[in-house]
Amino acid sequence: MTKPQRSPRKKGPSKGTGGLGRRALEGKGPTPKAEDRSWHPAGKRKASRERFEAASAKGRPAQPPRHRKPSSAKDDSEMVTGRNSVLEALRARIPATSLILASRLEMDDRVKEILSIATKRGVPVLEVMRPELDRISGHDAVHQGVALKVPPYQYAHPVDLLEQVLDRHQTPLFVALDGITDPRNLGAIIRSAGAFGAQGVIVPQRRSVGVTASAWKTSAGAAARVPVAMASNLTATLKELKSQGCFVIGLDGDGDVSLHELELAAGPLVIVVGSEGKGLSRLVAETCDAIVSIPIGAATESLNAGIAASITLYEVAKLRGSRTRR
């Protein structure tokens, strides 16, 4: 005897999903355009463009969206990094094009003073993420969240420098560097030149240090007052200055003239300072009118280039002053 089958309570098939699968396969409509998707790069560009147009319509200053392009020109600017270094550079009034700060930077007294000085001087302040600041300052630099961008130094020409001094009816006094590669020595020499009345410093184009951010900082602001000239060939430049009436003396421990016996101090003078290790090069030494030595103790092998230049400049200034009083 067979059981009677129950009549279905619902219309439609007794097995299956009841039409749920068919509705799931219907889809959600056509795929939106790229610019209509907020997460897509095209959508981000569209949103940025709309914000710019809205700001322009309200009359507020706005900048169009920027797109990074590879720069073909070489950027010769230098970076001063670290809170103490940046603060000292701003105090010394080193020229700066921008101050770069890391986002969410902890504000201490140094950072507050850095921002205060930069604001008073009108230096643009930029805020970037730390990875970007690492890339800008160099991955081996310790920036502490602060970096200062310094423009490349504008060098003068040695002969033009001499003509400017003569036009002011002054007695020329220059310091030329031969093989100095430490920027701190250059900064110290510039500082001494400004203190003892020298009108300029001459550096060769090759195998010598230039006016870098470190030299700016060591000069304690003197680099803003004492011009630095660059010579394409130091020997030829010294000969040109000699033809214009200048005397050239070189500093060397084995010199045949003692510094306190120098008789050329009263006239137009160029003091050539060599490197601490190698001293004066052969061609430069042959060009000098006299090789001058600084008397030191026997236990001391040699003097630092910056110290030797400072002592010589002081002695020249003293000799000129004593002869003027006479």
What pLDDT is attached to residue 57?
A: 59
Residue of higher predicted confidence among 243 and 80: 243
Q: What is the DSSP string of 183-244?
A: HHHHHHHHHHHHHTT--EEEEESSSS----HHHHHHTTTGGGTS-EEEESSHHHHHHHHHHT
Task: Using DSSP, state whether 26 is helix, strand or coil.
Answer: coil
**pLDDT tens-place string over residues 277-295:** 778 889 999 999 888 888 8
Q: Calculate the alpha carbon distances from 267 to 14, 113, 180, 202 in Å.
A: 119, 46, 26, 18
Average pLDDT over residues 43-59: 66
Amino acid at 169: H
pLDDT greater than 80 at residue 35: no
End-to-end CA distance of the chain: 149
Domains of the chain: 78-150 (3.30.1330.30), 158-325 (3.40.1280.10)
**pLDDT tens-place string over residues 299-322:** 666 788 889 999 999 999 988 877
Residue of higher predicted confidence among 17 and 98: 98
Find how far residue 238's CA is from the centre of its chain.
29
pLDDT greater than 70 at residue 70: no
Distance CA 225, CA 190 (A): 9
What pLDDT is attached to residue 69?
A: 42
Instruction: Please name the helix (run of DSSP H) or strand (run of DSSP E) that holds residue 121, with its range, or none.
Output: helix 109-121
Residue of higher predicted confidence among 30 and 258: 258
Distance CA 287, CA 250 (A): 9
Distance CA 255, CA 308 (A): 13
Q: Calculate the alpha carbon distances from 271 to 20, 167, 290, 305, 316 in Å.
A: 96, 21, 10, 12, 10
Tell me the backbone φ, ψ of residue 47, rounded to 5 degrees: -65, -40
Q: What's the DSSP call for residue 260?
A: G
What pLDDT is attached to residue 40?
A: 72
pLDDT greater than 60 at residue 2: no
pTM, entire model: 0.66
The first and second tokens of residue 317, run together, are 């200034």
Average pLDDT over residues 103-132: 90
Residue 79 contacts residue 137 (beta carbons within 8 Å): yes
**pLDDT tens-place string over residues 151-170:** 888 899 999 999 999 999 99
Please state, as a whole number, how many other Cβ atoms lie within 10 Å of the Cβ of residue 319.
Answer: 18
Q: What is the DSSP string of 51-71?
A: HHHHHHHTT----PPP-----
What pLDDT is attached to residue 254?
A: 78
**73 — pLDDT class (breaks 50, 70, 90):** very low
What pLDDT is attached to residue 134?
A: 86
**pLDDT tens-place string over residues 195-253:** 999 999 999 988 888 888 778 778 877 887 899 999 999 999 999 999 988 999 999 87
Average pLDDT over residues 272-276: 85
Nearest to 172 by CA among 298, 269, 313, 310: 269
Q: In the Cβ-directed half-sphere of 162, how many Cα atoms lie within 13 Å?
A: 21
What order do you get walking across the sheet with 98-102 strand by strand?
A: 78-81, 146-150, 98-102, 125-128
**pLDDT tens-place string over residues 164-195:** 999 999 999 999 999 888 888 999 999 999 99
The single residue listed with the structure tokens 């059981």 is 3
